[in-house]
Chains A and B, each alone.
Chain A
Amino acid sequence: MPRVFSFLSYLLLLVVMGVALFATFLIAPAERVQGDVYRLLFVHVPSAWLAFLAFGIVAIGSALYLIRRSPRWDRLAVASAEAGVLFTTLALATGSIWGRHVWGVWWQWDPRLTTTLVMWFIYAGYLALRAYIDEPESKRRMSAVAGIVGIFSVPLVWFSVEWWRSLHPTPSVTSPGGGLPRDMLLTLLLCVAAFTVLYGIVVRQRMLLEQASSLASDLTERLHAQQERSE
């Protein structure tokens, strides 16, 4: 059953990603001012949205772990944090490339860019924290606290373009009157769907890895105990 589920999820990813790429390059029209380079929007925005979603899931998983003390929620949190760091990296990289074309520089200490970089460091720190604590229970408890505290960086990134003067444009999809034309919006939604399927697959695989790693630790302890008994 898990193999069938994996196969179907990869098939879904292939189909949705194929349709999204088709729409990106062949359906969405070129933008009047920026021309074709604006198509970076279709990878930049989904990466940023997925980063927000991933860090939201980290906070939910962390809170549920502290309430229920089930390692399953901790596995969800760490899997989502790793995916979130990946998508934040992609959002920063594509934003930098797009910025180089539009603003003429690879990086600006602009509020949106700076807060996104801070968010990246917070979740990279979350992953580093886990790597440095050996005792499983303390690792889960401390990273759950970090996962909940870290979520405060998400509204900071989201509202940074409204709270401070920023080169980065305000959200064009959610702002009233500033929406995208229909074909662009449809393409963007398709790309968000494709990236969400990718996120789901990455999180599931990462959760399975975490489960297998803790099983390996348990087996190692059992083996050591057995070796000590036999000596």
Chain B
Amino acid sequence: MTEMHFLFFGFGVVWLGVFSYLFYLSGRIRSVRDELDSLSSQLDAAEPSDKS
């Protein structure tokens, strides 16, 4: 491998690492947001039956 190969390999690893983490983080945020929506609607549905 030439020095340019090492250079681009290094930068590639950095950007791949950063974007993979950001992708993973946004996936987790999306799943927690979905969970919150589902819990809120379940609580809303449970509340009227609770009152009755």
Binding site for B on A (CB under 8 A): 34-37, 39-40, 43-44, 47, 86, 89-90, 93-94, 97-98, 100-101, 198, 202, 205-206, 208-209, 212-213, 215-216, 219-220, 222-223, 226-227, 229-230
Contacts and interface: CB of A to CB of B under 8 A. Distances in A.
B9 to A, nearest CB: 6
A212 B17 contact: no
Nearest to B12: A97
B36 A97 contact: no
A212 B29 contact: yes
B32 A216 contact: yes
Nearest to A227: B46
B21 to A, nearest CB: 5
Main secondary structure of the interface of B (DSSP, over half): helix
A97 B21 contact: no
B49 A39 contact: no
B44 to A, nearest CB: 11
A34 B4 CA distance: 11
Interface of B: 1, 3-4, 6-7, 9-11, 13-14, 17-18, 21-22, 25-26, 28-29, 32-33, 35-36, 39-40, 42-43, 46-47, 49-50
Given A86-B17, A93-B17, A209-B28, A40 B10 contact: yes
A36 B3 contact: yes
Nearest to B32: A212
Contacts of A198: 18
